Structure 1
């Protein structure tokens, strides 16, 4: 495959394919494993991710890239094959989460700044050598009637831009992820407030990217959708799609090759339906696809349930969900396809 940033970015959003976000931290995947009564160990984490990555039909047809946690990037399967090689052999692209998490932002109560810039250039060189060709950094934006502040937006947007420049310098495509929280406290904001804040955040992010000369053709945007808070969910699928596309058209330059949405607290079916609605009725300058974690994995995790004899069942569940997301990326998902599964 071409090593040009532009070509890698285009391949990441190839028609009907999207990204598997398998970059849960050790603490997060422990919570997922707790839900099925499985102890989180290095081997159990490997076995789970290997189950997903060896789902041949899903990986070859529906998944363009996999965002990995650092542990997984360097891990080997039970038979000794590097997990990165399994990803590559399926025609998918290995990627890596590089931020070290959102921490409290001093002087800004209830707001955070994502850390991880210190030493990032050296880490990126190591990740590139290990096979990673794209990276991810998540900026977290709290939302309420009074939040976010401009200071928090500006700080996170600047960090995203600095990260993106370092990635491109290392030959790695940056996924720029500014997430306006849907399910964070208090979670009672309206869709009007979500639209206002999402537009403000994206406008600021692209100003910072421009100031630091980030090559837009060699990046992917991973935004949240314009959606009301978890405690006030009233908006229809069509309204979420319409408002999200409206904000993107106002803020995202056409030079960006693709937008891969996060699911951000939505249910599996909600995330699929919203993506499909955007692709069904709108003429867009960029590819719209998925970069889902829980929304791609939850059914597979439950079917697998930590048992070796359930690997095939877990893979079937993962393949079905990946296929549904692929159809959504083409604007051809329908609810009855879920019921027929």
Structure 2
């Protein structure tokens, strides 16, 4: 059996780095990408801005308080996507087994190529730096969990290898939040019983983890012991198609969102038709003025694709949400897709979700 060699590649402060790439005068400055309005949210920021405590997903108005001299820039997603395509071409020149996780992050399976993994990492780093001008961090291990952990070990521009011999002792000092599968709620639940680092987590019985976290508890139990059998998946099915926006001002009445929901429905319908698919699950996402998120979904007994149908179902869900506070963000998404085989069947195979 071929020994697995998994590489996790993560671009360093990608959006901010692309901004510096396009405007050299920004180099070394605290750059915060996510919008210039106080109502926006930080998408990413340079390492200079992180020194002030600025983080991704932080409201812009808080980021401005922490870093008043920061340079706040709007998101240019089209440009980041353009650069991302060039970077992924480099990944694919090394191995066909590439699993994109996001626009700036991927797993590569090196198990089936006769090359030294360290040399592969150096090749990617040098080629991306030379051809594009950006840095990235790479983690290498024998499974996904450890490879991803390794890529974050010594950012920026890092390279870390985690071997079987290092586990589990290498993990023991780390906070439990570093374990894939442990979210904020589970962190709090574990903290409440005195578990803060992985060594303390390691000493918990498997059945207790199952009781605290359900099925995920078993997976966490195995991961911190070095077991993670997830494969690198080359084709990733798109799970949902949606639109969302932070409102220019907080909204109190649902009726004020009617026109916006219809615009979302039009846009989603256009995307579904272009991909020759329909969907039967509708989800509404709301974020209130206190930054609490609320989502509600409805699974229909039939598939829909038209803007009127999408609007009707989405707005119906919105009207039935029990939201007392003002709304600052709203979103609509569709999932549970079906290929519409009777139309444009000859071109569907060339499209991907």
- Pairwise same-fold verdict (TM > 0.5): no
- Normalised by the size of structure 2, how large is the TM-score? 0.25
Bigger RCO of structures 1 and 2 (CA < 8 A, at least 6 apart): 1
Work out which of the two has the higher radius of gyration on C-alpha atoms and give 1 or 2. Answer: 2
Q: Which has the higher strand share?
A: 2
Q: Which has the higher helix share?
A: 1
- Normalised by the size of structure 1, how large is the TM-score? 0.25
